[in-house]
Amino acid sequence: MFGGQVLIGAIMIAFTVVVHTMGIIGFITYLKFMNFRALGHRNYVGLVCRLVLVVLGIFFVHALEIWSWAFLYLWLEQFESMERALYFSTVTFTTLGYGDITLDERWQLLSSFEAANGIILFGVSTAFVFTVIRMLLEATSIIQPEN
């Protein structure tokens, strides 16, 4: 069953990376459409509103990824309810890992794949949010762009 877990884990990681990439491309498109320069000099309200929208959007993308793992666990008959599968997936994806519920021994390796998947995608999200913050700060002339 080891090979099956590796294959399923790799497919899930690839799927969530595609979801994440599409989400980030969507945010970049949104931010270009909103035109950073239109923020105006030291427009803190506009800056905060755009940043909140990006963070909520990233949160939504992570939620989709967590739900996709939860659906996998339901499909594998690891949980009897979506609530339990979603709870387990959220705790695993965020690497919180309470350990109060676990997968059957034959599927436990999958939770390691999900945890690694989550930590990498949270890192990508963090880098993206920091890039957006820098762009917003430059657009509002709070900091000077690097030459």
Domains of the chain with CATH codes:
2-139 (1.10.287)
Sequence letter at residue 78: Q
Task: Give 35's pLDDT tier (boundaries 50, 70, 90).
Answer: low
What pLDDT is attached to residue 33? 77
Does the structure show a pLDDT above 90 at 127? yes
Residues 70 and 85: beta-carbon distance below 8 Å: yes
Residues 68 and 90: beta-carbon distance below 8 Å: no
Residue 2 burial (CB count, 10 A) = 8
Highest mean pLDDT among 11-15, 52-56, 133-137: 11-15
